Amino acid sequence: MDWGIKNRLAKIIKPKTGRTVMLAVDHGYFLGPTSGLEVPARTIEPLLPYADSLMLTRGVLRTSVNANTPIPIVLRVSGGTSILGNLSNEGITTTIKEAIRLNVAAVALSIFVGSDHEKETLLSLADLINEAQEYGIPVLAVTAVGKEMSRDSRYLGLCCRIAAELGAHMVKTYYCDGFEKVVEQCLVPVVIAGGKKIPERDALNLAFNAVQSGAVGVDMGRNVFQSEYPVAMIRAVRAIVHENMAPEEAYKLYSSISGDEQK
């Protein structure tokens, strides 16, 4: 693999543990000012010390993250749809030139396997990889799931493998039963999305199960920033990902830090 790609990936997946806690705050690209991200700067700032990278759009990056912050950026470069339209009909929104200008560690794009726009999104991924590779920039493929699509290992395994076959350097998907197989057959590092907000204890279990099944970490959003105590939550997730802390211990950590946050 190209030196630049390896070096950028090492900014995201920490070589010391081989794991990563990515903080996803890109939801506004189709959800608008979603709960917890109404004023992104306010949400992001206290979480920065505990995130290994930030996944976001250029709009949030420019307006809400201080350029002096040394955090690696995973730039979402697909979009063009909203929650009111057909979500799978995404295209590429941001050029590689812009990604370079913003000094990103990786670019990210969603693929919609099994949707009306399967072919376009897969070819967009291939085009993005062809171009990003020219400049040593890794590509994170996000296996998006529509309402009508299942989230079982057969379907997610299909999406992840196709992304890897097209050349994605990392894949983000959802945790499911039989996740070990999904990870093994993906060929490149896998991170999980957290999905909709669930109770903290359940989200910690999810993170634990994912890394124990071979994921290199999480790219979590709502289960961190929609938590009542986001800092406590990301710190507990971090302990699971980087220290293999058991979920019950991590929940105790969450409770004790959130107690301190309350004081």
- Restricted to residues 33-62, the positions that interact with ligand R5P (CB under 6 A) are 55
The answer to whether 8 contacts ligand R5P (rule: CB under 6 A) is no
Q: Which is nearer to ligand R5P, 51 or 142 (CB)?
A: 142
Q: Site for ligand R5P (CB under 6 A): which residue of 91, 167, 195, 214?
A: 195
Taking the complex as a whole, the smallest distance from the CB of residue 228 to ligand R5P amounts, in Å, to: 16
172 is an active site residue: yes
Of 123, 213, 195, 113, nearest to 155 by C-alpha is: 113
Q: With CB under 6 A as the contact rule, which of the stretches 5-13, 91-99, 111-119, 188-196 interacts with ligand R5P? A: 188-196
The answer to whether 27 contacts ligand R5P (rule: CB under 6 A) is yes
Q: Site for ligand R5P (CB under 6 A): which residue of 113, 219, 229, 258?
A: 219
Q: Site for ligand R5P (CB under 6 A): which residue of 36, 40, 157, 194?
A: 194
The answer to whether 94 contacts ligand R5P (rule: CB under 6 A) is no
Q: Which is nearer to ligand R5P, 136 or 195 (CB)?
A: 195
Catalytic center residues: 172
Interacting residue ranges for ligand R5P, rule: CB under 6 A: 24, 26-27, 55, 110, 142, 144, 193-195, 219-223
